[in-house]
Structure formats: C-alpha cells, structure tokens
Structure 1
Amino acid sequence: MPFPDQIGRYRVERRLGAGAFGVVWLAHDDRLEAPVAIKVMAENWAFRMDIRERFLTEARLLRRATAGGVVQVFDIGELPDERPYFVMEYADRGTVEDRMAAGPVEVPEALDLTARAARGVSALYEAGIVHRDIKPSNILLAGGGTAGRERVLVADLGLAKTLAQASGLTVVAGSAGYMAPEQAEPFDGIDGRADVYSLGAVLYRLVTGAAPGSPGKVIEPDRVRPGLPPALNRAVLRAMEPDRERRWPTAAAFADELDRIAAALPVAAVRSPERKTQARETQSQETPARDTQARETPVPERQPSEERPAAARAAVPDSPPGRRTLGRRGKAVAAGAAAVVLLGAGTVVAVELQGRPTTPAEIRVTDATKRISFEMPSGWADEQVGSGWDPTVLGLRTHHQPGLTVAQDVSRWPDLTTAVSGVFVGIGASGGGLAHKAETIGHTGCTYHGGRAFTSDAWHGRVRTWSPCGTAGQSLEEIGLTATRSGGPEVYAQIRCDRDCTERTDGILRSLRVTGS
C-alpha cells in the first residue's frame, strides 16, 4: 500500500507494520491533538466480502469492550476505494513481546503484566467475547496511566468470537504454544477458560524466556528457571491444565491469584540474572511500538492469513523487523541447566540437557494433518502454523488443503519486505495446475533472478529466485513441484533466508515428504 498523506481526517505520519489483512499506520488527530493507530484493510483482500466482514467484526468487538484493559476503537470509515479502516488508541511502548527482548523479566513485573492482561481478558468475557489468541505480541503497553503507571491493553481480536458462537462448532484457530487444547478440537466448543490457558502460557514465557511445550507436556517453570516462587509455579501449571475443568475458572480468578502471589513476594524478589533492566528501559524509550497493533493472527478460521504464502499478495513497503530472543537459536537459560529447542510439533519449549546445551542444525517438522513433513534449519524454526492453506489465493479453484508454515516469526511471513527466514509448503491436487501456477506469480518490488530445474527421487519442478523485496540480503525461492509417482500431489513452496538459499532449498526439497491423497 503506498504511503497515504491522509486517512479520513487523520494526518498519517509513518507506517507501523502490516499483517495479512491490513496495514497499520501511525497518524495524528489534529482536532484532538493526539496520536492514533489506524488499521486499513489490505488492498489484496478488498474483493473478499467475508474477509471484509471479519475485519469490521474485529473493530465492533473492540468497541463493545469498553474497559481500560482493552485497546479502544475511536472511529471507523472507508477510503475512497471503499476499503474499510478503523482508528484505535496508539500504544506507544510496544508489546509484551518487545518487553522480553532482553530475556525473562523479573518476577514482580511478570506477575503484574499478566494479571493486568488477565483483567483485560475478563473485560472481554463480560462483554460476551472470548479472544482465542492471547499471546505476548497481542498484549500492548502504553503510557498515560494513573500516577504515571504503564497501561496494559489486550488487542487484536482477529480470531475473537462471541461466547454464543464459540460454544458450538468452531474451526481450529490460535497460535502454537499459547493455544488451549480444546481449540484444536472443533466439536468441543470453547469458553473463557481457553484464554486462561493462553494467559498461563504468557506468564510461562515471561518468567522463563521460552514458550511452553504442547498441552500436557509442559515442563515446570521452576525447572527452566530455578528459584521461582512455588506458588507461581503452581498457578502457571493450573492455568495450563489440559483439562479445562481443572484450570482457574476465569481470567479474573487467575488475576486475583497472581496479585496474591505478588503481595507475598519478599522484598528481594526473584530477579533474572540474564536480564538487563537498563537495556529494557532504553529499548522501551527508543523503540516505541515498532509494529505495535500491526501483528495479525496466524490461524484464522479456514481463511488464509499468516500461513497464506506471501506470493499470494504483492510485496508492501518495508515493515520494521521484530526482535525475538531466547528460543530463536537455542539460547541457554538457567545457568546452563536447560536450553530452548524446537520440537516436531513446532512449539519452542524448554527441555533439560545434560552438559553443554546444543541445538540440532536441522529439524524435521510436520503439519497438523501429518501429511506434510520436511527438514529445515533449526535456527529458522521458531513458530509453526500447520492447519492448512487455501489455493484460491493463487487463482485456483481448489479450496482448503494441507499446508505448513514454519518461520522465525509467522506473523511477518506474509510481508515479503520483512527479514524473516522460514519455509512454506502447500499441497494441491494431482493435475490441478498448482505447479504451473507457481511459475506465473510475480512480486511487486522484488527483483527476479531467473529459474532452475529441480529433480529428486520424489519430485520434479522449477525453482524461481527473487531478491531483495525491500530488505537487503534477503532471498526468496519460489517452487512448484509435481510428484514423480503417478497420481501424486502437486506442491507449492516458498523458502526465505538471509543469504543465497540455493543449497538450503535443495536440501529441504529433497527431504520433503507428502503422504496420503
């Protein structure tokens, strides 16, 4: 989307970031003399009425929840080309994800941030809304609180549902590592306890620096970071109980418990030896909300979102890269007693290691259907979305198919201008034209460097190479493959990295396995 001078009556200052459904701009309300964040529906979705309605629903739900712990919507409108936008309060201090850039936070701060986020979630519940995608990047931080206190705001309701909708059949949606197990079971229905699970995962991440493992396999926080208060350990584990009947009954109850734990902490509360408080404070002052309010959710209901391949949309202007630590490359925690690695399920978890912590150079990942698997560099595999993709975004008639995105940050995957390494693989039907279609895709703002043939025992096809797509040193490999066996599937893939991807691409494609029909 080109840089606009004006959106409605708001004067645009700079771009904050982009997601699959929209671009977020920092603007100024000259009448009220205040900064605002404006989310504008992306041009490539303008013709999709269902996506348009989802976009507007997010604004309506945010407006319904008027409590102080939820980001507020001030206005809604349309551009001359009829794309909708909505105007939100601007969170000037980034996100909880940004706050963790220096490592695990101190226990009192972690308890406070989570408790206040939980009260925002409770306000949503009182308004009849279940969020379904609570995670550090969806919890915003802003100044202007009473007595100079920082405000904590829940944002991004792209996956939210009213409680009436959520109580029945619902499609799998959420973010790996933070999603309650019932969200993966479409017939179970969900309620506010799904958000309690996610809040527990947020607190786990805050105090350990690592996202927890899959439900039922969560390593106790004090084994990752020894010395945590036992009451905190118990509170987190109860929030993340696989059986929702055993969790805290509400987000408010969880918040109350965290407040009690904080009040009982000794004066010399547990501190993180890795964390540099001064660095955190400097980061908060120097990099306010680099892409705050611009992150989209990676698994919308049967709609292509972050897991949608970036080739399905034109490249957009440069989006400021996010920062993730501890877990990105297996960084050690707890004085060498553990390391952060990524398991086959695609969730970054902390596991105990004997001796010096190490991370495998390559790791095999698998999608939710167990049909797609491949090996890739472990340093790219921070986050995974594996619930499928929609080939109609490429102009094909086939609808929802198995697909898998694994990347350093899946929320940035749709924007080709961002520096993120990872892999996307989507399946198409045999003879459906997917491999051929992959050879016709263009990318605005990227430089095409030509194509080459690829052949292995299982696949044959063509690899096309693009760079830099707005980020110097970045490379995009785009691949269309056909199975060598008769009647086998076709595959569309993208591989992105921070240098020439050729050698990595060939290894990934040789390891690619697609089973079933």
Structure 2
Amino acid sequence: MTAPLRIGSYAIERLLGVGSFATVWLGYDRALDAHVAIKVLAENWSHDLRVRERFLDEARLLRRLEHERLIPVHAVGELPDGRPYAVLAWADGGSLRDRLAVDEIPAPAALRLLGEVCAGVAVLHRHGVVHRDLTPGNVLFRSAGPDGAEQVLIADLGLAKALAAASGLTARAGTPGYMAPEQDDPGAVVDTRADVYGLGRLGIRLLAADPAGANPTRPDQPRRAPEIRLRDGVPPGIAAVLAQATAHRPADRYPDAATMHAALTRASGPPGRPVRSTRASGPAGLTVATGPVRQRPAPRAGARRPSRLRLAGAAVLAVAVVGAVGAESGGAGSARRVGGTYTTGPLTVALPPGWSATGATWAGQYGADGEPEPALVMSPRPHRWAADPRLPGAFVGLSASTAARATPAGFLAERTHGDCAPAPARATRQAGVEWTVVAYRCDRGRPQIIESAALHPGRPALVYVQIAPPADSGPAFVDTLLAGVRLR
C-alpha cells in the first residue's frame, strides 16, 4: 500500500492500521505541531451508500457527544477520488488489545480500568446510543498530561446507532466472544443490555483466572451463570457482577452501563483510584509514551516483558460494518460494454441514456470457491456517484452465499437507512424476475434511495440492486432499470 503524502492539510507520516472497511494513517499538523489519526473509507467500499452513511454517522455522533471519555473527532473531509475521511485525536497509548498482547494487566489496575470503560459506555447510554462492539481493540489510551496520566477512551462507533434505530430487523454486527447472543438474531431487539454483555465479557478477559474457560451460557441453558474463577487480588463479589452482566437473557442483565458500574463499585469495596500513573510507576502502572514517535529497542533476551508497554501504535481501528456491500474494480469475470448494455460475469444491465458502468466483483461477498461474487456500478459518472448526492446511479450485485442465508425481503430488512423514512415494500415482476422493492425518503444527502432484491430465476443466487434515481423520477424509472437487469 502506497502512503499518500498529504490528506487535507495534514502531512502523512505512516500507516497506523488497516481493516476491511477503512485505513488509518498518522497525520501531522505542522501549524499546531500535533499528530492526528486520519481514518479513510476503503476504496472498495466507497460505492455503497450505506457504508458511507455509517462511516460519516460515526464522525457526526462523536462530534455531537464530544465527551472526554470518547475519542474526539476534529473534522471530516473528502479525498479527490470522493472517499470520505475523518480526522480523529491520536490515541498515542494504543489499545487495550495491544497491551493484553504484551502481558496481563495487574488485577487492581484491571479492575479500575473496567470501571473506566463502564463509565465511558454510560456516556453513550445517557445519550440514547448503543455501541454494539465493545472489545479490547475499541478501548484506547491517550496521554493526558506531563505527569504520564492518561485518558481511557471508547472508540470505533461504526456499529453504534441511536436506540430508536437499533431495534427491529438489523444487520448482524459485533465481534464473536464479546457479542451478545441477541445480536446473532436479525429479528431481536438490541439495546443497552447488549453493551452490558460486552462489558461483562471484557471484564472476564481482564479479571478471570481462565478467561477462555468462562464460556458464555448456551441458548438451551439461559439461566445458568457462567463459571468465573477470578484472578488473585480481585474481590470475590466481582464474579457475581460479571455473571449477571453476561447472562444469556437480556432481561437477566443490568439494564445499562451505569447500573453495572455501580454494581462493580459496590463489589469492589472502597472506591479505587482513577486509572492514572506516572512514568516511574513501574510494571503495575498504565503508562504511555509522550513526545515524538520513535522506535524502542527490543527487550533483552530472557528479560520479563513489563505488563505495560509504552505504545505509539494503532490509535483507531478501522470501522467494522457487517452486511454492507461495495463495488471493487478488477477481479474475476469479464467486464465489457456492448452498445447500450454492460456485462460483467453473469450480470448484464441495460444502461439508461448517458450512463456508463464499471466494476467486476462484490467486495466482501465470496462464493463457495472463495472467489469474490460479481457486481457493478452504473451512473453518468460511475466513479463519483456514491460521493456526489447530485448524481443518480445504481449498484448491482449477484450472490449465491447471500441466497443461502436470506430471502430477498430478509436481506432488505438488514439494509435499513437510519436517517430515512421507508415506504411499504412493494413487489414488481420485471423480465421474468420477482422483485421486492423498498423506497426510502431522506432528509439529507440524496432525497431518495431504492433498495431492491430478487432471487435468480435459474439458480440459487440473490440479485441486489441499490438505486439512487434521478430527481423527480418515479417508480417507472426503477421498474425500467430492474427490467434491464439480465441474469445468466
């Protein structure tokens, strides 16, 4: 991957992290003599409107909440190729995942840290937001003063939604091992109790003597508490708190992070000190590096690694969005335009006047052979339509793997647009294909987005078409475009 020289007004120094949906760079503001983390939407997902919405919603949400326990966002922008980026504070102390990879955190500090994380998630809950992906990688550390003190920050809200939008039919989202059982059910209500489960699993990772042995309860045993054997130095009452937090049924858990935090405090005995330290605190401290980024020497052979590594590593993880799509150039299959049509693999589309097409694979969707499944984007300017709300366009993808797990109606139920109002789903038959169509009216960005899906009439595969229609067009434009989708 070639590093850009600049993003906006920031000089790029190095890569911080790469994920499926975004890339994070370390940027430097020369005028302010400050480093920032710049998260850029991955190119192969930039064509999908829903992924862009999630990406920008995370930045807007962090900006709106603007709390010392949440990763700060400074600005958003757009690259010349149309991909959005967000400028975030650089968490120079790295993540909890990084630290646990080096050594275990001493029990008293781990318990205080869990309380700090609960307090951060409680901020989200007070504002009606559920995070849905609380993992060690989403707990970050940032220098907070010259004495070596640091802030504990909650980050990566790419899966977070307002509670009003987080219930009902939603896409499966979360990290196995920390994800609440109900998040695996697309028809379940996901609320603050899902975050309580994630906090409980995080607590087990930090405080249990055998985290792998404290397995989640099975669906056929919803009332059985997980067996939690605590590390030495952890008050025994903490086991009951973690067991209640990780109960299989949401109704058996604490209602929110603040209530769980209060239970932790009661079970811990006298209130602990804040998670702070100085550089001289030794292995039990939570220290971070300050000043310029520099390489540290490798530890001496045979020396025990300290329980705290002064990290200047990945600051913000790439957003993880499950169940979204994007077009990716290249890949398997031929892609060609013939007259007023465009063909890639088994997909052929009739192009509206003035439109062209591009793309050959459906990013993130893989068939039984491990190869990406086919897709294309068509628009008057295919490479710009997702970034420019004034441009009409459409994404078309064909997936056998999706057909194996979802009906067309079920797949569309996963692809709601939180800021838009849906019309009732309608059915239309075009060119021998039975389509389910849902139209969304939106208050910002594009005034209308059409989601549509159908089963391939000749083989087990689902065809999905997302349309941003021209202004003032009606259902006839949508039906004509769907009638022009031919499947081999």
Task: Give the TM-score band, short-chain normalised.
Answer: 0.5 to 0.7
Match of residue 312 from structure 2: 288
- Kept in 1, the 8 Å contact 2:244–2:254? The answer is yes
Offset at residue 21 of structure 1 (A): 1.3
Looking at structure 2, the residues matched to 132 and 403 of structure 1 have their Cα atoms a distance apart, in angstroms, of 26
Q: Write the distance in 1 (CA, Å) between the matches of 2:272 and 2:374.
A: 61
Matching residue of 1:113: 113
Structure 1 residue 173: deviation in Å? 1.3
Find the counterpart in structure 2 of residue 509 from structure 1. none
Counterpart contact for 2:107–2:233, Cα < 8 Å: no
The 5 A counterparts of 1:118-517 are: 118-144=118-144, 148-208=148-208, 210-211=211-212, 212-216=214-218, 219-222=226-229, 225=231, 228-264=234-270, 277=284, 281=306, 284-285=309-310, 287-289=311-313, 291-297=314-320, 300-303=321-324, 389=365, 393-395=372-374, 397-399=397-399, 401=401
Change (3 A) 1:243 1:148: same
Q: Distance in 1 between matches of 2:25 and 2:305?
A: 25
Q: Following the alignment from structure 1 to structure 2, what is the Cα–Cα distance between the partners of residues 239 and 99?
A: 24
Structure 1 residues 143 and 276: CA distance shift in structure 2, 3 A: closer
Paired residues, number: 319
Contact 1:312 1:394 in 2 (8 A): no
**What do you get for the CA RMSD once the two structures are aligned?**
3.5
Give the TM-score normalised by the residue count of structure 2. Answer: 0.58
Alignment identity in percent?
A: 39
SS in 1 for 2:75: strand
For 2:93 and 2:242, how far apart are their aligned partners in 1? 26
Task: List, as ranges, runs of 4+ consecutive aligned residues in structure 1 with deviation greater than 6 Å.
Answer: 487-490
**Conserved 8 A contact 1:138-1:295:** no
1:19 and 1:296 in contact (8 A); partners too: yes
TM-score (norm 1): 0.55
Residue identity matched to 2:182: E
> Relative contact order (alpha carbons < 8 A, sep ≥ 6): 1 or 2 greater?
2
Structure 2 distance, partners of 1:37, 1:87, is 6
1:359-408 Cα deviation digits (max 9, x unpaired): xxxxxxxxxxxxxxxxxxxxxxxxxxxxx94559542542372699xxxx
1:16 CA displacement: 0.3
Q: Which SS does the other structure have where 1:58 is aligned?
A: helix
1:375 corresponding residue in structure 2: none
Cα shift at 1:144: 0.9
Compare CA radii of gyration and give the structure with the larger one.
Answer: 2
AA paired with 2:211?
A: A
**Partner Cα separation in structure 1 for residue 103 and residue 153 of structure 2:** 21
For 1:214 and 1:113, the matched residues in 2 are separated by: 22
Quickly say closer, same or farther: Cα 1:104–1:78, change in 2 above 3 A: same
- Structure 1 residue 81: Cα displacement: 1.4
Per the alignment, residue 76 of structure 2 pairs with: 76
Q: Which moved further from structure 2: 239-248 or 225-234?
A: 225-234
Shift, 1:10, TM fit: 0.9
Query: Residues 79-98 of structure 1 correspond to what in structure 2 (within 5 A)?
Result: 79-98=79-98
SS at match of 2:88: strand
2:157–2:319 Cα contact (<8 Å) kept:
no
What runs of 5+ residues in structure 1 fail to find an aligned partner? 268-274, 314-387, 405-486, 491-517
Whether 1:38 and 2:59 are equivalent positions in the alignment is no
Change (3 A) 1:88 1:125: same
C-alpha deviations, 1:110-134, integer Å up to 9, x for none? 1111111111111112222111000
Q: Retained in 2: the 8 A contact 1:104–1:205?
A: no
CA contact 2:112–2:272 (8 Å) conserved in 1: no
CA distance in 1, matches of 2:459, 2:82: 43
Question: Tell me, what secondary structure is at the counterpart of 1:221?
Answer: coil
Distance change >3 Å, CA 403–CA 102, structure 1 → 2: farther
